[in-house]
Amino acid sequence: MNLHNYALGRWVEGTGEGQMLYDASTGAEVAMASSNGLDFAGMLAYGRKVGNKNLRKMTFQERGRMLKTLALYLMDRKEKYYEISYKTGATRVDSWIDIEGGIGNLFANASLRRKFPDLPYYTEGEPIGLSKGGTFIGHHILVPKEGVAVHINAFNFPIWGMLEKCAVNWLAGMPAIVKPATLTSFLTEAMVKDIIASQILPEGSLQLICGNARTLLDHVNYQDVVTFTGSATTGIKLKSNPNIIREAVPFNMEADSLNCIILGLDASPGTNEFDLFVKEVRKEMTVKCGQKCTAIRRIMVPDAFLEEAQIAIGKALTGISIGDPRNEGVRMGALAGLEQVREVKEKLIELMSYSQLVYGDPEGFEVSHGTKGQGAYMAPVLLRNDDPFNKLGSHEIEAFGPISTLMPYKDMDEAIELARKGKGSLCSTIVTFDDKIAGEYVINAATHHGRILVLNRESAKESTGHGSPMPLLVHGGPGRAGGGEEMGGMRGIKHYMQRCAIQGSPTTLSYITQQYQYGGRYIEEIKHPFKKYFEELKIGETLITHKRTVTDADIVNFANVSWDHFYAHTDATSLEGTPFTQRVAHGYFVLSAAAGLFVDAAKGPVMLNYGLEECRFTKPVYPGMTIGVRLTVKEKVAQEKREDEDYTKGIVKWLVDVYDETEETVAIATILTMVKMKTEVKD
């Protein structure tokens, strides 16, 4: 069987001789992969002209709904991927991380759309005043880059590695060219075939290269984004491509790192934390056969607990069934290929120059199901370095397999210093029930890590574990880990967008951002805005209300009904040393009174008050002062119809500007209402 590449909107086989791919557990031939004959420059041009054009005109809401639809579609077909995944050497548990974990990234980013407007671009942060009179302001917008996201991925997660990146660039409005590691690209190809067949993504959104990418990076430009996951050696070579440097192409690198786990000084044998520590080490050494960029490579233990930790970890690893993952009872499958076994054993020999082997045998182990010589099997190996401050190889050499090194420390300063010797890691875990220890470690080790997990009895039951990056948290790390950052919720989306500062009048910037900017021109209409449907409301549309004079009775009555008898509202004799010259109205009374002025009481398109985003009380309101309200449509976000609802709706954000008889603002807030639509939102 020959794998197919997906380029320029069609499936094509590479020409000439390719690379034969094998079943990691049995050694049987799976497929031939080749990318010979592909027009890489043409693929990039197609992605920019077709895929980018199609995606960037969609709004965030449309792109988010697209991700959700795709996630549901792929989840319905997950069993197909599990069957193919066995050929990579992965067990069902290993594959769950890759398959359902990858699809989970689509779901997470689909939900993230609610943080963005119903526009193709995004307005970031608050407006910046640039003039005394308020007629000249600045803002920042982010627009989708006009290029292609090129993803060069590792062999260990052929599905998750694709979807955790593509979910982000698709939501941002950029298409992707995916280059999975050839070794396991047959699994990526299977899913991409389903994605293309679904026709859920617009044309040009996704292309696939199963073989060698050769000169692909010679054709990228400054509008493209390149991401790389793999070895630091390869990543540095790619990042140094003259075209990458010349075009200033954003290059995000996530390299394998020497991640560590710290057993806290309080977590002595017999505690819950000690047991959790042992389980976490076992899991990270055996899941995916240790072939995770986040796997634990270094184990730091208080020297007083070192012997007991060594015995406990060895006991936990004993009896783990190694073999063909298709067989029930197998806990640990195979490495991705025989070449990986050879590389890991070579690194093990290097590591043993600095450490002693205290558990496991890289040669003399049993395979319960399968043939040892044909499958890429390897048993867990635990090393011990008793002098980690002088024998530094344990902090510099990574064996990308089921190998980890135990090492002692005396106090938290030493533990932190040992963690730092990894020279930058993707993640670290500290196991402790002492918040002081946790705080000291996190604050002092954070500069060297992309993510830190604090694990103890309170969090363990629901903890996602040391090795699991989460879609809405950043994944990446400084130094040896590549210096990159991916995923991370809204942070990740922005990597695929161009930030641009814009300047102009509040009225002009209101139009560009589709958010009302304070000081912009009002649109006054006869019809009350609460009588209008979502589609009828315009950004900048403003209701200027009647006015109301605040009285002593208002303040007393509000204090009684709210039970808020704070002295500034109720005791005029206690105001010395305060900003107030007399008894002051409650801020929430002012806001409530404002609502009384702008609300239209009759039933209409406005369904409910959805919340309050911002609120400031900028000037005291005393008895005898008169207040009015300018209620302005600030922003609109459409929502799709739910199955259990017989109506469609959107969220309208209103700027509530409460002012006094001198026209000075006394309170300003952004409130949200749910407003009915006349028409249904189409997916």
The domains located in the chain, with CATH, are: 28-256+491-498 (3.40.605.10), 259-464 (3.40.309.10), 522-676 (3.10.129.10)
Which two structure tokens, joined as six digits, stand for 207? 């292309």
Report the SS3 class of residue 488.
coil
Report the SS3 class of residue 138.
strand
* Spatial contact of 160 and 187, defined as CB atoms under 8 Å apart: no
* Spatial contact of 354 and 319, defined as CB atoms under 8 Å apart: no
CA dihedral over 480, 486, 490, 491, signed as positive or negative: positive
Which residues touch 62 (CB under 8 Å, ≥6 apart)?
none
CA dihedral over 448, 449, 450, 454, signed as positive or negative: negative
Residue in the structure block whose two tokens are 């400031």: 616
* Spatial contact of 258 and 481, defined as CB atoms under 8 Å apart: no
Question: Which residue, 219, 57, 43, 245, is CA-closest to 144?
Answer: 57
Cα-based distances in Å from 304 to 279, 298, 386, 407, 445: 20, 18, 12, 11, 22
Determine the Cα–Cα distance for residues 99 and 156; give it in Å rounded to an integer: 12
- Helical axes 435-445 vs 412-420, angle rounded to 10°: 30
Among the listed residues 166, 260, 293, 427, the single catalytic one is: 293
Instruction: Classify residue 435 as exposed, middle or buried by CB count within 10 Å of its CB (0-12, 13-18, 19+).
Output: exposed
* The pLDDT of residue 147: 98
Which residue stretches of the chain have pLDDT < 70?
680-683
* The pLDDT of residue 681: 55
φ, ψ at 79 (rounded to 5°) = -60, -35
Kind and range of the H or E run holding 666: strand 665-676
Using alpha carbons only, what angle is made at residue 661 by residues 658 and 664, rounded to the nearest 5 degrees?
55
Of how many residues is the chain composed?
683
Is position 254 annotated as part of the catalytic site? yes
Instruction: Classify residue 369 as exposed, middle or buried by CB count within 10 Å of its CB (0-12, 13-18, 19+).
Output: middle
Determine the Cα–Cα distance for residues 175 and 75; give it in Å rounded to an integer: 22
Is position 485 annotated as part of the catalytic site? no
Among the listed residues 62, 189, 254, 284, the single catalytic one is: 254
Which residues touch 667 (CB under 8 Å, ≥6 apart)?
587, 590, 591, 594, 615, 616, 617, 618, 619, 621, 656, 658
Q: Where are the beta strands (DSSP E) in 562-664?
A: 606-617, 626-639, 649-659
* Spatial contact of 450 and 481, defined as CB atoms under 8 Å apart: yes
Residue 186 CA, chain-centre distance (Å), reads: 26
Residue in the structure block whose two tokens are 């006094």: 660
* Spatial contact of 63 and 55, defined as CB atoms under 8 Å apart: yes
Report the SS3 class of residue 9.
coil
Determine the Cα–Cα distance for residues 564 and 555; give it in Å rounded to an integer: 10
* The pLDDT of residue 680: 64
Determine the Cα–Cα distance for residues 373 and 293; give it in Å rounded to an integer: 26
Residue in the structure block whose two tokens are 């690209």: 185
* Spatial contact of 299 and 337, defined as CB atoms under 8 Å apart: no
Q: Where are the beta strands (DSSP E) in 145-242?
A: 149-152, 176-179, 206-208, 225-230
- Rg (alpha carbons) of the chain, rounded to whole number: 30
Which residues touch 279 (CB under 8 Å, ≥6 apart)?
316
Model confidence, pTM: 0.90
Determine the Cα–Cα distance for residues 108 and 112; give it in Å rounded to an integer: 6
Residue 355 CA, chain-centre distance (Å), reads: 37
Which residues touch 6 (CB under 8 Å, ≥6 apart)?
12, 192, 196, 206, 207, 208
End-to-end CA distance of the chain: 37
* Spatial contact of 258 and 443, defined as CB atoms under 8 Å apart: no
Beta bridge partners of 609: 673
Report the SS3 class of residue 395.
helix
Residue type for position 602 = A
Determine the Cα–Cα distance for residues 407 and 418; give it in Å rounded to an integer: 9
Determine the Cα–Cα distance for residues 124 and 140; give it in Å rounded to an integer: 5
Determine the Cα–Cα distance for residues 490 and 113; give it in Å rounded to an integer: 9
